């Protein structure tokens, strides 16, 4: 999600030691862990409350379906999974294709009038 590599994590650790100091770093890390656990608990509680409020008709409801990206993928792009590759369209030779009425045949240059400008 955040694309953190080993070098980025090491830089963040060095910055944390420089900014907060080695004596306060364990206390700050434990506070961050508690905050993260509390946020997860709140999110799970909200999800459970939403499912309970919707009732048994929505037992298979997934909260991630509410994310706009997933919503579009599920409801609007349904049936387009087979079109990941462009279809093979046969090409015709320029001589084999008849020109359209009033148009040009493929590969034919339009007439040029040097005095028209």
Structural domain count, the chain: 1
Residue 107 falls within a domain, yes or no? no
Residue 54 falls within a domain, yes or no? yes
| Secondary structure (3-state) at 61 | coil
CB 61 within 8 A of CB 74: no
Q: How much is the pLDDT for 114?
A: 78
CB 63 within 8 A of CB 50: yes
Residue 110 falls within a domain, yes or no? no
Range of the domain at 56: 6-77
CB 51 within 8 A of CB 61: yes
Q: How much is the pLDDT for 33?
A: 94
Q: How much is the pLDDT for 111?
A: 79
Q: How much is the pLDDT for 60?
A: 79
Query: CA 10, 25, 34: angle at the middle one, nearest 5?
Result: 105
DSSP letter for 13, please: H
Q: How far apart are CA 106 and CA 92, in angstroms?
A: 9
Locate tokens 């309970």: which residue? 52
Residue 85 falls within a domain, yes or no? no
Residue 111 falls within a domain, yes or no? no
pLDDT tens, residue order, the chain (117 aa): 567 789 998 998 899 889 988 899 889 989 999 999 999 999 999 888 888 888 888 777 777 877 888 888 877 766 665 555 555 666 655 455 555 566 777 788 877 777 876
The four Cα atoms 12, 15, 16, 20 give a dihedral, to 10 degrees, of -170
Residue 17 falls within a domain, yes or no? yes
Q: How far apart are CA 46 and CA 43, in angstroms?
A: 5
């Amino acid at each position: 999600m955040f694309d953190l590599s080993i070098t980025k994590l090491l830089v963040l650790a060095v910055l944390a030691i420089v900014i907060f100091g080695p004596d306060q770093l364990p206390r700050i890390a434990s506070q961050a862990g508690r905050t993260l656990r509390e946020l997860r608990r709140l999110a799970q509680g909200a999800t459970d409350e939403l499912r309970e409020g919707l009732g048994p008709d929505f037992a298979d409801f997934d909260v991630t379906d509410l994310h706009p990206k997933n919503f579009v993928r599920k409801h609007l792009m349904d049936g387009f999974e087979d079109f990941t590759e462009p279809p093979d369209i046969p090409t015709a030779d320029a001589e084999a294709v008849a020109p359209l009425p009033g148009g040009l045949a493929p590969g034919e240059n339009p007439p040029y009038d040097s005095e028209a400008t």
